[in-house]
Amino acid sequence: MRMFLAGVTSAGAVEVATRALEGTPGNGLRRRVVRALAANPWSPAERLMHQLLRAAGITEWVANATIRVEGCRLHPDVLMREQPLVIEVDGFTFHGGHVAFQKDRERQNLFAQAGYTVLRFTWETSPRIRPR
């Protein structure tokens, strides 16, 4: 994921490489990884949330899209396309500490100011979310 975030590669480039390796050992696993990364998760916790959304049959969402609010560029972990809903997944690795805690509150307020409802989950609570 770090390579994607740093702009070193893209899901499309990895998909092309995977197709070039068709028929070689491990290619099934590579295809599954490319499909998971194509949704653009920025953390393992986001990747888990994407898996849960797909398993629940929820498809009208996009990961880490850009929203502009009050001159700020925000990237919600998950943005629902059909409703003003944002899902944020907070893992302690990226959201621990005072500065991250403060930034998360500021982001949530900006989302709310723009009319979005924000649902927050943690790495620990995400696996307990089950479709009805």
pLDDT score for 12: 66
Q: Are 131 and 88 in contact (CB under 8 A)?
A: no
Query: What is the predicted pLDDT for the residue at 115?
Result: 95
Cα Rg for the chain, rounded, in angstroms? 16
Per-residue pLDDT of the chain (132 residues; tens, 9 = 90+): 455 555 556 656 666 766 776 777 777 776 666 565 555 555 777 787 888 888 889 888 888 888 898 898 998 889 998 899 999 987 665 556 778 788 888 889 999 999 999 998 886 665 555 544
pLDDT of residue 132: 47
Domain range summary for the chain, segments of one domain joined by +: 1-38, 41-132
CATH topology of domain 41-132: Endonuclease; Chain A (3.40.960)
Question: What residues have CB less than 8 Å from 114, skipping those under 6 apart?
Answer: 67, 69, 84
Supply the DSSP symbol for 36: H
Long-range contacts of 2-10, Cβ-Cβ distance < 8 Å, separation of 24 or more: 4/37, 4/40, 5/42
* pLDDT value of residue 80: 93
Residue in the block written with tokens 């972990």: 77
Contact 62, 81 (CB under 8 A): yes
